Amino acid sequence: MTAIGARRGASGALVFLLGAAMFLNYVDRGAIGIASPLMKSDLGLSDEAYGVAFSAFFWVYAPVQLFAGWLCDRFSVYRLMALGILLWAGSTLLIGLVGGFASLLVLRIMLGVGESISFPGSSKIISQQVPPGRRGIANAAIAAGLALGPAAGTLAGGLILAHSGWRMIFIVFGIVTLIWLWPWRQTVRSLPTVTETQADDRVSLGFLMRKWPLWSMSIVHALGNYCFYFLLAWLPLFLTKSRGFSIGEMTMLATLGYAVQAACALGYGHFSDWWTRSGRSEAVCRRWMMVASQLLAAGAILGLAFAHDAVTIGILLCLAGAASGSLSLNLYAVAQMFAGPRASGTWVGVQNAIGNLSGIIGPIITGIVVQRAGYNSAFVLTAAIAAFGAAWWAVGVPKIEQVALGEEQPQRD
């Protein structure tokens, strides 16, 4: 095999495993939502306590992104990915053994530390290994994993919940995640070259923090994540407690929405690569894809507030999934366009840290709103946030092009 062929094969295997890692990421972090119908009563958690436990993941996941992204631009991102997955798999497994709120809280925090490497690490590897004409499908693999994780997690977790209880969900998911480490180690060993970023090619965190494109992307990231995490955390409870569906019916409806999200993400990835290779503007494609998808998300979420029958709810969840597929693809593809290979780890670390603040405050806000005003009010609020996200993509995100990383910035932190 030629050097080019070897590199292409290795990069393809890396992208596949990154997608698998993202799949496991969302299986594990979303397990609490699937377990919640039985876990809440078993552990004696109120709606507000459950919201706090869910959001605890983001207390460290969001701020540690800053450090994780910084590490990715300076040390072996491949080793960092392995260490992160080892930590989050162990945390997931141990949640199956918790005895109360305190231990659940600690392990959700440790899960957040482990998973903090996922997005900055994936973006760093894609920006290094994948050319612009394949950026769409590479990020689509991540986006598909992000969607299939909740889909498979909801399906498998729902079945486990119905037959073996909520604890077994976490034990099984943790063990499966540990298995990922073996093919990752073999693939990284087969890479033609694995090099760390040289000191004179580094971009400082302080330099990037002075760039408006980074702040604009962080804001729109938070707006999009608020909607995604709202459905991830509260959809199972909404379907079972407010709409009266059984756990089996809830599992099928939620899985349908996530499956559509994964399929649409792959379709969007192929479309955006075709668009880019045809010589048209990748930036224009990604911006207006996001405007349309955020508007679609707003309409679907608003519709869920007033839907009661399974067919209508299923259609609306499919539309929400189609919108989320675009979100999970373009947030990181656009970040890579702004940052370039040199700064992708740090950029995505900052963007994801700020963007995931909605994961801290969102579940708590929703818990308070649900407890005091009901589910309908929570859905209306989330739909309004999605609509604002569409407007921000249209006018708040500046021209999408790589920011200047020239001599004005220091070479070392």
SS3 264: helix
Distance of CA 22 to the CA centre of its chain: 7
If one counts the domains in the chain, the total is 1
Model confidence over 306-321: pLDDT tens digits? 988 889 999 999 999 9
The reported pLDDT for the residue numbered 399 is: 92
The answer to whether residue 87 sits within a structural domain is yes
The reported pLDDT for the residue numbered 412 is: 37
Closest CA to 106 of 53, 38, 29, 42: 53
The reported pLDDT for the residue numbered 316 is: 94
The answer to whether residue 412 sits within a structural domain is no
The reported pLDDT for the residue numbered 187 is: 84
The reported pLDDT for the residue numbered 372 is: 84
The answer to whether residue 275 sits within a structural domain is yes
The answer to whether residue 406 sits within a structural domain is no
Which domain does 283 fall in, by range?
3-189+202-396
The answer to whether residue 365 sits within a structural domain is yes
Model confidence over 198-224: pLDDT tens digits? 444 677 778 888 899 999 999 999 999
SS3 97: coil
Tokens, residue 138? 């590479």
The answer to whether residue 163 sits within a structural domain is yes
* Rounded CA separation 231/195 (Å): 39
Using the CB atoms, write b or e for 1-38: b if 16+ within 10 Å. eeeeeeebebbbbbbebbbbbbbbbbbbbbbbbbbbbb
Q: Which residues of the chain have pLDDT under 70?
A: 1-11, 191-201, 406-413
Do residues 132 and 322 touch, judged by C-beta distance below 8 A?
no
The answer to whether residue 404 sits within a structural domain is no
Tokens, residue 116? 């903090």
The answer to whether residue 196 sits within a structural domain is no
The reported pLDDT for the residue numbered 9 is: 59
Q: For position 172, which CATH number holds? A: 1.20.1250.20
Do residues 62 and 357 touch, judged by C-beta distance below 8 A?
yes
The reported pLDDT for the residue numbered 411 is: 35
